[in-house]
Every structure is written in C-alpha cells, then in structure tokens.
Chain A
C-alpha cells in the first residue's frame, strides 16, 4: 500500500517544536557588523541635506553610507511590463517617495549601537504633497517621478487591447455596477526579513537570506555586482514564512554585499517588525469598477472589470499582478462576453508585492461579489445563480476568454458538496426566521465558488534523488520550503517509489552550491514541479538500482523487482532471495558511479485548483459587529499527497482570507504617514476570531503531471475573502445594504446599516 495520501505527521516539526529552527539571525558569523537603515519619515519630500557627522562619531559606529557613496546604478522595475523609467535608487538620492524608504545605512559593531546612531543622522526634508489615494494618482499634478511625466506605471488595458464595447450589455435584462476596494494588507510572516553578506578571500560572495527563492536571489546578486552566478552562494537557512513577500529582491538585502566590501567585514541586517510593516511590501491594493449584465432568469451574459492597481512608490511585483487578475477574471463561469481593463499607478506608499494569492484573490473577489449583486437584483438564490453559469465538467480543458486553459474540474460537484455539508437550506430557513423576528443578531450566508491558477510561471524545476552507500536517500529540490512541509512531502514520494523509510531520507534545499537551479516556492507550485521531478528521479534511481541488483542476483534487470513494501530487491517469482537497499547501494557505489539522478522537470502548463466556500456570519445590527460562526470549505487541488499538510495550508489560507475581509487593512493618513505600522494597530487575525473550519475533501486529479497534483497554498485566501464579504452583505440585504467594502469592521458595517436606513 502506498504511503501517498496518508496523514503523515511532518518530519520537520519536532525540531521546530523543541530546539527551534536556525534563521539568518542565528547564523554565527565571526566579526559581523550590523547594518541599520535610516528610513524616511516623510512620504514625499526633497532631501535638502543629510548630516551624518554626529552619528559617525557615536560609540560603535564603523561607517555610515548615503546615496552619495553608492556607485551602483538605480534599478528599474524587475518586471518589464512596468514603466522601466521608474527606477529605484539603492539609497534615497534627491527625494524620498514613501515612509520607510532607506536613506542611509549605519554600520556598527552591535545592533544597539546602530539603532542609537541612526537617530543621530539628521535628514532635512522639504515636504512635497503626497499621493495616497490611487484614484487621484493618474490625474494628479503631483508626480512621483517628475522626469517620467506620469504616475502610470502600467496600462494593462492598452497593452491587452481593451476598448469598452458600446453594445457590451445589449440583451441584458439587468446590469449591476459596483466600485469595489480590494484592501491593502500586510503579509506579516513570523520571521521578518533578514540577510547577511560575506566576501571570501577568493572574491566569492556568500549571502544568507530569508527568502523564498534562493537561486533567483543568487542570479540577481550576480547581476547587480557583475559576477558570474557561480561566484555567488546564497544560503537560505530556516525561513519563517513569506507569503509571497519574500520573493522580491529587496533593496536592503541587495546593498549588503556592497557594504560588506566597503567595510571589509561580514555584515548582517535584520529588520524590526515596524520596519517590516513599512518596507517588506504589501498585498492587494486594487480598486475595481465592475459591471455584470445578464437575464432575469439568471444567465450572465457580460462581465467587465476595470481595475486600478496601486503599485506603491516603486513599481514591482504588486504593480504587475493585475495580469493575474485579468487571466482569472471570469472565474468558474461560462460568460459570453468578458472585458478587462485597468491601470497601475504609483503612490507615496509602501511598494506592493505578491501576497498569498497574488492577483487571483482580487479576481475572485470581484466576480464573486458581482454574482451576489446580480443574484439580489434578480431575486434569485446566490447558489442557484452560480449553478446556472458554472463551467460544466464535460467542458474541460476549458479555454477562457482571457486566455487561460483550465485543466480539469467539476465546479458543480464542489458547490453541491459544500451546500450539503453546510446544510444550506436549513441555514436559509434560520436566516428567514431571524429576519421575521427582527432581532439584533442577523444571519448571513456567503458563497464563493472559485478557480485559481497555480504554478503560473512556466519553465523547469529541479528535483534530485540519491541513494547513498549506506542505503539511505538524499532528496534535493529547487523549490524552497519556508513552512510548506516539503521535507515530509518529498520524502513521502521517495519512500513511495523506493521503499526507503522516511527517517532514512534526508532533505536538502536552500543552498545554491548544493542546488544548482531552481525557481523557489511561490504560486503554489512546489509539489507539481519539484515534487514531480523528485518522483521521476526516484523512478530512475530505482531503474539504476535494479540493474545493480540484477548483477547481485545474477538475473536480467528486467526480471528484478523492487518490493517497495520491504525495500528489498528480488527476482520476479522468487521473493525469498533478496538484496536490500544497503547491499545494492554499497555495490553501486563500490563498482560504479553511485545512485543519483537529477531531473529538471517542465510541466505542460499551469494547473487550476478550484473549490467552493461558505461563510456563516452573525451581524449585530445594533453595533455592526460581525462574528464568523461557521466556515465550510471544499478545496480541490487535484490528488492529495498528505491531507495533514493540505489541511494546514487550507487553515492558514482561510484565516488570512477571512482576515482581509473582516479586519486587516494597511492605512495611511492624508499625508502618507502609515497608521498601522505595528501589530497593535494592524489587526492581524488570531485563532480567537475564527471558528473551527469545516473542511470537505474533493480530489479531481490534473492530467498535467504524474502525481495528479495541483497547488493548495493559496486557495484559502482566494475563496474565503469573498465568501465572508458576501456573508456580511447577505446578513443585511433585507435592510437594503448591497455592498460594504472590506475590511468589514464593526463601524463600517454599522455605517452601512445607517446609510441603507436613511435611503429607505
């Protein structure tokens, strides 16, 4: 019986739960200095002077650098679709564009000395008007990049030929329209960003980093410093979460090798939580103008979404993500006409970046909200409106108007499983009862049926398997587990194919000297890329081993069988005469070149997990307070390798999705000052605000890879956010409330009730 599909307890957890991990800040580095960045306290200002004199003579200070010292060219956006003239300096030159931007670097013997000295660097700012609201950025006379002449960083509509058709809604009985704010949120991984740089006597750079993609970081550093990739070694030790924000190539860590060279010592940088909230990057930040038209009997005919994406001060990954929103615009529905337009603008705020879901939650939130608006308008149950428009299971592979090809799915079954598990009818009856009673606690039900894209970036991924002379295995991967449980998942694949015990399988990742290539972990890609490579490498190692075993057994290789239950080789039909892995491996290493296979696996294409979520909320109409009382989720990510791990991913994703809907929002005042820069002011969700999730299993394998696996890392945030938002609006729909923007704080919900009451 295969180990795959079993609830195998994570192999990495005992270490994390007992002695703890080893993070960048824990790595011993002899003689390392500490780098503290002096950060802009202004959102938008011209720098008239920087006075470092007092700080230079402060105790423990080794050096202080400003832009005048840095002889590296400003960097254009990392993504070519963005306006490449909007370059980012390493340290602020003549102006600052957001609060938190690094202006100077203090290098000190201790961290404490650096923090103290940074306070003694005096920067004179001449304030400029700040652009905080993305909707004012396009027309504003205030320009973040005066030489560029515009605040538009990308015009996705123009790039993709968007031109609103005048007859777009012809034939529609009903058209609903809504401006929807997909609120800006902070990723908040447990470990903040950290990095260290050491130059070797051979001119080789070693960089420790808290990253999701060590090999990409290696290549980026090599490019920045004019080195061959082989002259750079990136080591990612344990990494405490990333949620997409650690895929970026941060200025603070990229400058470390330059600083290390100038001071001729190793240097280390670890940000504080407040710094992290200001500069790690934020997710979402998209304003959507949606229009959906259809017939009174529930058929959707036309769907248009025009988005305004906030890139923050320097366009990067976040500015580009509306491409993902566009690709997934029509969700799980057959819609005859789809249009998508929009722009990306720069504002005097923290740059936006990838955050769990990265463009797809925005797509799902827009259409799932619009489906509910449509359902209310035509007086149909939201579940039935969705059912009437779902892509049917015999339509896969399904090509969408926006150019995606969904690999496999059965959306109606997901919806049915959900409604059954939730007891949807009974909940609707309870809702009706409470409405009739007119009490203060009203019930709301929110649905989201979603599809998302995983492993969206094409190209190969590395996975390798080696059986060492003692019959144990080493598995290597070019992905990078920073909480995802790859040590367990990939070992399970090896164990399944080779019959080697889990505890005898060593997992290696995160050192570019040991892992030659790899894209890292993002976009829910690891199992369906590196996992498949590991599976294929395991199969090939088994083939090699059978040849060695054939020699030992004096048989033809084709007649030798590997019994994965016992981990022994024998001749077919003669199970009593066996050779163990250790015997075969010893022979292979003694007589040949060992047992190692490295694979670069290129998937046929991206895969499209899907599911259906239902949120049940109680809203106190006296105070606006929302309580999430139930959350039911069907998530189909193809074949499940380890339900324990996928359930963990679903739990975390749902929690973050609920958080965006109910409480989390990065906010600025009108001058661009951040007002949610710590975890007291920024309402990151905790278990106390969440019910136990009711997870319903569903498995529709993908034909795209031999594991049948799609990704699961981001499904939770994609389905949960619109489900919760829809539930809150649903609870109040009888009062005339049609839409409330996120986060659905008590005050905002209460205001919506008041406004609806005034209109009525």
Chain B
C-alpha cells in the first residue's frame, strides 16, 4: 500500500529464487526479514518491480559447525542466533553483538543474511564479519561463489552481490585457543543504529601474553564496516596502550557528519570504544583457555 507497486514472488528453493532473480535483473530484490527493506519501500526510498520473498526457502535456515567453521544459513533469524548454544560457544562475538540489533521484535524477523546483504555501515553483523574474517556464500543461476567479508562490503547499502545473486550463508572461522571478544557501541537509544562501534576478537599465544591474532571491525564510522588493519597489526606487534590502539583504529575509518553526530565526535567516540573493547577482549583472553 505505502510502497510503490511491485510484483511478489515466493520461491521454495534457492534454485527457484535465483531463477526469478536472474529473470528480473536489477528490477528484483530478495525480501528476507524485511526489517530494513520494508521501511525503505514504505518511505519509497527504495523501489523494485519484483520482490522475491525467500522466507519460505527452508534450505536457507540453520546453524552448523564443520572443519573449524560455523556456517549460518542466510535466513536464520537474529533471534535464533541470539539463543543458539553453538554460536555462543564458537562465535561469542556474534552472540554478543546480536542483542544490540534493534529490539527483540525486530530480531524475531530480522535475519543474518539480510543484515549482511543490506550492508548498513552502522549495523553490527557486518563489523563482526570483518572482525572475525568471515566469508559469505553467494548463489546465482550460473553457480555459486564465496567472498571474504573484507571484500564484500563496497559502500553504504552496497555489496559485491551482483544482480541475480542471492546471499545464502555466512561462514565464520571458529577462533579457538586463548581468545577474548568484546563489542562496544554508542547509540542514542537502545536498539538504534550505532553512532560508532567496535567489534574486537583477540587470540593470545599459548606460551605468553603476546597477541597471535587480532580482528577489529568498526561500524558507524565510514561508508562500510571498517577492518582496522593498522590497529590489528599494532596489537600483534606488541602495542598495548588502549588510547594508541583506538587512535590507530580510527586512522582506518572514514566517518562523516549526519543528523545524529559529527564526524569528529564519531572519531573521538570510536577511538574510545575501540580502546574499551580491546581492553575487555584482552582481559578475557588472558583469563584462560577457551
């Protein structure tokens, strides 16, 4: 009613979905949980001739662990991610990020694949994906492919997904060993998109407290989720001063002014949140073997 008119498709399989998507090219859009797309349609900020509702494609739902990776189907609801014991054990950063998404009603509908494909730079899941080094699985009529999260996000609401492609799953590497995870964000209200945020994963050497690996994903501070490579490298190289790590992280960011906050404030708060998250993650990692 409020959206511009569109034709509605309801495939039951990935094969059917990608066939419909291929047939309509850039006039078609997959409809997942609808928590971002539907408001944009209602405000007529987005228009598509064809909506391909993938809510009835059962093969897109599920959480599995194999070969050191956690694979989560694109249509797995955020609420399911939030409650899942395997996620809590093998991807604690994802589990901890989930309650920060919207409100529980939104998480009951919202999906992990939808959140990644929507690619709002202020949302949590894309930052978690780049922090952990995730990969997304993409299907199309001509075959499927896998793209690293770091290469997936191209701009605000823009990803490597081509016309006719469907994001089918995300694969998260299981960080094992002496690991710690933390996510920090500043939002105006509970459930709002973040003004700035940082998702941090750290693995320590078994022998000493040196950092073996660090993953830092920033959100709300650029047109895409930002992988804070300089700060990650500094941590591995032995830098421990939180303020310096925060400063380095923001050197990779590219925040802008909007109605909710200035770029300068985002930079300031982003650095602070990185420092706080790194401290927490380090403390957890030092706490013992996971």
* A-to-B contact residues, CB < 8 Å: 111-112, 115-116, 119, 272, 274, 622-623, 625, 663, 667, 675-676, 678, 680-681, 683, 685-686, 688-689, 745-747, 750-751
Contact = CB atoms under 8 A, between A and B. Distances in A.
A683 B189 contact: yes
Contact of A746 (B2, B44, B190, B269): B269
Contact of A623 (B43, B192, B272): B272
B207 interface: no
B205 interface: no
Classify chain B's interface size: 20 to 34
Contacts of B38: none
Contacts of A680: 39, 192
Nearest to A114: B1
Contacts of B5: 112, 116
Interface in B181-203: 186, 188-192, 195
Contacts of B268: 623, 750
B272 A663 contact: no
Given A683-B189, A688-B189, A667 B265 contact: no
Nearest to B262: A747
Given A625-B186, A681-B260, 5 more contacts: A119-B44, A663-B188, A680-B39, A686-B190, A746-B265
Contact of A675 (B1, B191, B259, B261): B259
A623 B189 contact: no
A683 B4 CA distance: 27
A681 B259 contact: yes
A722 B260 CA distance: 23
Contacts of B260: 681
Contacts of A111: 1
A622 B1 CA distance: 46
Interface in B52-100: none
Interface string B255-269: 000011110010011
A751 B39 CA distance: 33
Given A675-B259, A746-B269, A750-B265, A112 B188 contact: no
16 contacts: A111-B1, A112-B1, A116-B5, A274-B43, A622-B272, A623-B186, A623-B268, A623-B272, A667-B259, A676-B259, A683-B188, A746-B269, A747-B262, A750-B265, A750-B269, A751-B265
A205 B39 CA distance: 37
A747 B255 CA distance: 15
Main secondary structure of the interface of B (DSSP, over half): loop
Contacts of B261: 745, 747
A116 B4 CA distance: 7
A339 B4 CA distance: 56
B102 to A, nearest CB: 11
A332 B46 CA distance: 53
Contacts of B2: 112, 115, 272
B98 to A, nearest CB: 16
A153 B79 CA distance: 53
- The 10 tightest CB contacts between A and B, nearest first, are A688-B190, A747-B265, A675-B259, A112-B1, A683-B188, A747-B261, A623-B269, A622-B272, A689-B189, A683-B189
Interface string B195-223: 10000000000000000000000000000
Contacts of B186: 623, 625, 746
B216 to A, nearest CB: 19
Nearest to A665: B259
A686 B261 CA distance: 20
Interface of B: 1-2, 4-5, 39, 43-44, 186, 188-192, 195, 259-262, 265, 268-269, 272
Nearest to A688: B190
Among B188, B190, B272, max chain A CB count under 10 A is at B188
A14 to B, nearest CB: 24
Contacts of A685: 189
Nearest to B196: A623
B259 A689 contact: no
Nearest to B193: A680
A747 B220 CA distance: 15
Nearest to A676: B259
B189 A678 contact: no
A11 to B, nearest CB: 29
A399 B259 CA distance: 45
A746 B272 CA distance: 13
B160 to A, nearest CB: 27
A586 to B, nearest CB: 53
A115 B195 CA distance: 33
B189 to A, nearest CB: 6
A717 B128 CA distance: 40
A683 B43 contact: no
B189 A663 contact: yes
A112 B39 CA distance: 16
Contact of B192 (A667, A678, A683): A683
Contacts of B1: 111-112, 115
Contacts of A622: 272
A162 to B, nearest CB: 37
B43 A745 contact: no
Contacts of A681: 259-260
Given A622-B272, A746-B269, A750-B265, A686 B259 contact: no
A111 B2 CA distance: 8
Contacts of B39: 680
Contacts of B43: 274, 678
Nearest to A747: B265
A745 B189 CA distance: 11
A752 to B, nearest CB: 12
A115 B268 CA distance: 43
B4 A689 contact: no
B261 to A, nearest CB: 5
A689 B272 contact: no
A488 to B, nearest CB: 30
Nearest to A745: B188
B169 to A, nearest CB: 29
Contacts of B4: 116, 119
A403 B88 CA distance: 66
Contacts of B188: 663, 683, 745-746
A688 B191 contact: yes
A678 B43 CA distance: 10
Contacts of A689: 189-190
Contacts of A667: 259
A663 B272 CA distance: 22
A194 B207 CA distance: 69
Contacts of A683: 188-189, 192
A752 B44 CA distance: 38
B8 to A, nearest CB: 14
Contacts of A686: 189-190
Contacts of A623: 186, 268-269, 272
A212 B191 CA distance: 32
Contacts of A747: 195, 261-262, 265
A116 B47 CA distance: 12
A686 B2 CA distance: 26
B99 to A, nearest CB: 12
A627 to B, nearest CB: 12
A584 to B, nearest CB: 53
Contacts of A116: 4-5
Contacts of A675: 259
Among A625, A675, A746, max chain B CB count under 10 A is at A746
Contacts of B192: 680, 683
Nearest to B39: A680
A625 B192 CA distance: 15
A118 to B, nearest CB: 11
Contacts of A746: 186, 188, 195, 265, 269
A681 to B, nearest CB: 6
Nearest to A678: B43
Contacts of A750: 265, 268-269
A1 B201 CA distance: 66
B48 to A, nearest CB: 15
B266 to A, nearest CB: 9
